[in-house]
Amino acid sequence: MSSDNGRRRGGDSGQSGEHGEQLALIRESVRKAKEPKARPRTWRGAKLAGELPVARVLVDKGPVHLDRLWDYAVPAELDAQAQPGVRVRVRFGAGTRQVRGGRREGGGLLDGYVVERVAESQYQGPLAALAQVVSPEPVLGPALLRLCRAVADRYAGSLADVLQLAVPPRHARIEAEPSPELLPPPAAPAPGSWSRYPAGPAYLDAVVRGDTPRAVWTALPGPHWAAELARAAVAALASGRGALLVVPDGRTAARVDAELTALLGAGRHVLLTAGLGPEERYRRWLAVNRGAVRAVVGTRAAMFAPVRDLGLVALWDDGDSSHSDPSAPQPHAREVLELRAAQEKAAFLLGAFGRTVEAAQLVETGWALPLAADRAVVRAAAPRIRTVGEHDEARDAAARAARLPTVAWEAAREGLRHGPVLVQVPRRGYVPRLACERCREPARCAHCAGPLEARGQDGGLHCGWCGRESGPWHCPECGGFRLRAQVVGARRTAEELGRAFPGVPVRTSGRDHVLDTVPDRPALVVSTPGAEPVAEGLGYAAALLLDGWALLNRPDLRAGEEALRRWLGAAALVRGQEAGGTVVVVADPALRPVQALVRWDPAGHAARELADRAELGFPPVSRMASVTGPPEAVAEFLAMAELPDGAEVLGPVPVPAALPGRPRRPGDAPPGERWERALLRVRPGQGAALAAALKTTQAVRLARREGEPVRLRVDPPDIG
DNA sequence: AGCACGCCGACT
DNA sequence: GTCGGCGTGCTC
């Protein structure tokens, strides 16, 4: 039998009472609450603020952060400082309330933000007072708060979690410094290389005029996109508004920063990246928050930068996985910037060499317009692309030693006569599966059909899902018995190429040592995808894209899109075909992404992928979310959740165990535990309802502490 | 998460 | 009566 304590406390004064003093105390607080005017103007003897004496506070993180606002009394001496947006400390927790003697004080001090000041509280009970105003700096303005709320709702996460991503930690010393003077807006930019796009100058003009054009921009290959991005930001500044550019990594941010400096000089923009260190980052963030600087270029955390009067948000290369924040609730920069463009009435520019299905959907729904060059211009700017099958064995002994097909060998040799040659090799760890050497059929576990993996160097096989050892393997399709091992890494490829091309310098760029640029001289540059150095001058004379099968064989819905994105990224660094640039891709020419590369048609590829997704009911046409955790917890969660009409539950299925080598990602089970994952799918337009249902269920389960918590992920990245 | 409150059994 | 273990629910 449950106690009726809560109900009485809740304020039903009609209960007959036998609990003497206790009940009298409760009645008293209820009476006070029902007559707000009777609320004392003092708190434990201290005077309260005369105007708006109640602060609504968001508690930043508690043991269990409760995703709602809490009312606190504002003492008179904090009245002036406790303005909306400032950081405060409050006592929170049972024991805070005044007990009989009225002297008790308990609960820990927690950090929070004043969200608003109001005249009265709805709370039926005595309010505790704000303990402290940490700083009078209003760091959570109304626009940022609204954005964070929307992001929390979109991702079924808590506001506190989102604020942790959006508001940087405080440094008192930095706050004491003055921010620089706001410089006057620059003149409208000349179109520059934007005139290569028929709609380019018009897009800039619209931004300069103060309009809010939205575009999905397919960038021409070559190095001009960084300057074009900078020019778009200048257009927003020229309109008297602010600009925000988000790019995947610090290296890219530095390039765009340099272009902005070239156009604007110093002082009108800031670079915001993690590499700055917390203090410098806070200094720059404050300059933006105070309105002293109106343009920002940065990596994903900058997507929340509180730019005043936002006129343009732009995102470069939305297919790059680093645009997904790894911290809960894992918001994606593209989605956040879409929300910002809508909420803050800003122009939107999504640029890339490739196109994601999400970008294709923005175009298809008419939310954004395509911004691309004419076919003839594209063809002239892009290198010549040749394909070669994997089994095209080279006759030349040197080429065979380097595992290069004849066509690739010849392209490299020819390219080296004119400049540097890029060789793109997938990262070693990137290939998740072993496959039949003859027919490429992935090797699967005989028990659970999970992917087989090689353990260490000894060649023993085990299943990546159930961990069982596998005996001698033979291919169920073609009867082959040899497995294709993981891709040869960049280093060994470099060694082999060095032997094949004696006298040619070989440089490598990869995870550990990323080169920014290479000189315009003959050299072989071996790089993993994403780490390709920019070749100075005209660009690379040629590029070889090796081991295409490894990129395409990933068990991921996005494998084709991702392979194309990586190829385009490398090929865009190569000279145009009129300047003799050549790219050789080693992959089956019948495959859709390979054909899209040959035709340099990322928009067409994305449109077809989107159509496929629509037919299969996959995101982004439908909206999906995952629920991960111990099997009982997932089952209970699903039983309790009131999902929107027509929602489908797929699974749950066991989550593949986290591999010993790989770092644990959110959603992986802790070592030794078996977790399950269910996927939820709703029709287009029901995404918000799904997120709301998940959030409610999670909140109820956490509050009641029913069973173990589950992890929620809206837009799970690895379906397939 | 803490913490207080109420219930209920064990002991003075 | 009074003390304290334990279950439940609240935290402005």
Whether residues A65 and A96 share a domain: the answer is yes
Whether residues A630 and A496 share a domain: the answer is no
**CA torsion A84→A87→A90→A92, rounded to 10°?**
100
DSSP-assigned states of every residue in A497-543: HHHHSTTS-EEEESSSS--SEE-SSS-EEEE-TT-PPEESTT-BSEE
Which pLDDT score, from 0 to 100, does residue A439 have?
65
* Distance between the alpha carbon (CA) of A657 and the C1' atom of C9, Å: 37
Looking up residue A196, the CATH number of its domain turns out to be 3.40.50.300
Whether residues A126 and A64 share a domain: the answer is yes
Tokens encoding A393: 């064995």
Q: Would you say A148 is a known binding-site residue?
A: no
Which pLDDT score, from 0 to 100, does residue A418 have?
96
Cis peptide before A329 (omega within 30 of 0): yes
Q: Is the pLDDT of residue A714 over 80?
A: yes
Whether residues A539 and A390 share a domain: the answer is yes
Note whether residue A414 is domain-resident: yes
- What's the average model confidence in pLDDT over A59-68? 75
Please report which confidence band the pLDDT of residue A12 belongs to, taking 50, 70 and 90 as the band edges: very low
Decide: pTM greater than 0.75. Answer: yes
Whether residues A289 and A420 share a domain: the answer is no
Rounded CA-CA distance A462/A480 in Å is 19
Backbone angles phi, psi at A370, to 5 degrees: -70, 140
Q: Is the pLDDT of residue A215 over 70?
A: yes
Hey, is A46 helix, strand or coil?
strand
* Distance between the alpha carbon (CA) of A12 and the C1' atom of C1, Å: 31
Rounded CA-CA distance A581/A599 in Å is 15
DSSP-assigned states of every residue in A346-388: -EEEEEESS--HHHHHHHHTTSSEEE---HHHHHHHSPEEEEE
Rounded CA-CA distance A238/A187 in Å is 5
Please, is A239 exposed, middle or buried when counting C-beta atoms within 10 Å of its C-beta (0-12, 13-18, 19+)? Answer: buried
Task: Quote the domain boundaries for residue A563.
Answer: 383-430+487-599
Note whether residue A312 is domain-resident: yes
User: A33 or A223: which carries more pLDDT confidence?
Assistant: A223
> Of the ranges A326-330, A453-457, A522-526, which is most confident?
A522-526
Whether residues A294 and A310 share a domain: the answer is yes
Whether residues A447 and A568 share a domain: the answer is no
Query: For chain A, how many structural domains are there in total?
Result: 6
Q: Are A257 and A233 in contact (CB under 8 A)?
A: no
Whether residues A426 and A440 share a domain: the answer is no
Q: Which of residues 4-23 of A have CB within 7 Å of strand B?
A: 5, 19, 22
Note whether residue A615 is domain-resident: no
Q: Is the pLDDT of residue A479 over 70?
A: yes
Looking up residue A573, the CATH number of its domain turns out to be 3.40.50
Q: Which nucleotide is nearest to A122 (CA to C1')?
A: C12
Q: Is the pLDDT of residue A75 over 50?
A: yes
Note whether residue A528 is domain-resident: yes
Note whether residue A111 is domain-resident: yes
Going A234 to A238 to A239 to A244, the CA torsion angle's sign is positive
Note whether residue A608 is domain-resident: no
Q: Which nucleotide is nearest to A121 (CA to C1')?
A: C12
Looking up residue A679, the CATH number of its domain turns out to be 3.30.70
Backbone angles phi, psi at A289, to 5 degrees: -65, -35
Which pLDDT score, from 0 to 100, does residue A100 have?
36
Strands (E), A230-346: 242-246, 269-272, 295-298, 310-316
Q: Are A650 and A680 in contact (CB under 8 A)?
A: yes
Q: Which of residues 175-234 of A have CB within 7 Å of strand C?
A: none
Q: Which residues, 6 or more positions from A320, have their beta carbon under 8 angstroms from its beta carbon? A: A248, A249, A530, A565
Which pLDDT score, from 0 to 100, does residue A703 have?
75
Task: Give the domain-ending residue among A560, A583, A599.
Answer: A599
pLDDT > 90 in chain A, percent: 61
Is any atom of nucleic acid chain C found less than 7 Å from the CB of residue A8? no
Note whether residue A69 is domain-resident: yes
Is any atom of nucleic acid chain B found less than 7 Å from the CB of residue A104? yes
- What's the average model confidence in pLDDT over A691-712? 84
Please report which confidence band the pLDDT of residue A474 belongs to, taking 50, 70 and 90 as the band edges: confident
Distance, C-alpha A43 to centroid of its chain: 45
Task: Give the domain-ending residue among A76, A108, A138.
Answer: A138
Is any atom of nucleic acid chain B found less than 7 Å from the CB of residue A95? yes
Is any atom of nucleic acid chain C found less than 7 Å from the CB of residue A125? yes
Rounded CA-CA distance A35/A120 in Å is 11
Which pLDDT score, from 0 to 100, does residue A681 have?
95
Comparing every residue's Cα with the C1' atom of nucleotide C7, the nearest one is: A2
Which pLDDT score, from 0 to 100, does residue A627 have?
94
Which pLDDT score, from 0 to 100, does residue A36 have?
37
A148-175 residue pLDDT tens: 999 999 999 999 999 999 999 999 999 9
Rounded CA-CA distance A493/A506 in Å is 10
- What's the average model confidence in pLDDT over A553-560? 82
Whether residues A198 and A68 share a domain: the answer is no
Q: Is the pLDDT of residue A477 over 70?
A: yes
Is any atom of nucleic acid chain B found less than 7 Å from the CB of residue A64? yes
Note whether residue A163 is domain-resident: no
Whether residues A501 and A460 share a domain: the answer is no
User: A480 or A95: which carries more pLDDT confidence?
Assistant: A480
Whether residues A421 and A522 share a domain: the answer is yes
Whether residues A459 and A586 share a domain: the answer is no
Please report which confidence band the pLDDT of residue A394 belongs to, taking 50, 70 and 90 as the band edges: low
A407-448 residue pLDDT tens: 999 999 999 999 999 999 887 654 546 677 776 666 777 776
Is any atom of nucleic acid chain C found less than 7 Å from the CB of residue A707? no
Which pLDDT score, from 0 to 100, does residue A469 have?
75
Hey, is A37 helix, strand or coil?
helix
Q: Is the pLDDT of residue A358 over 90?
A: yes
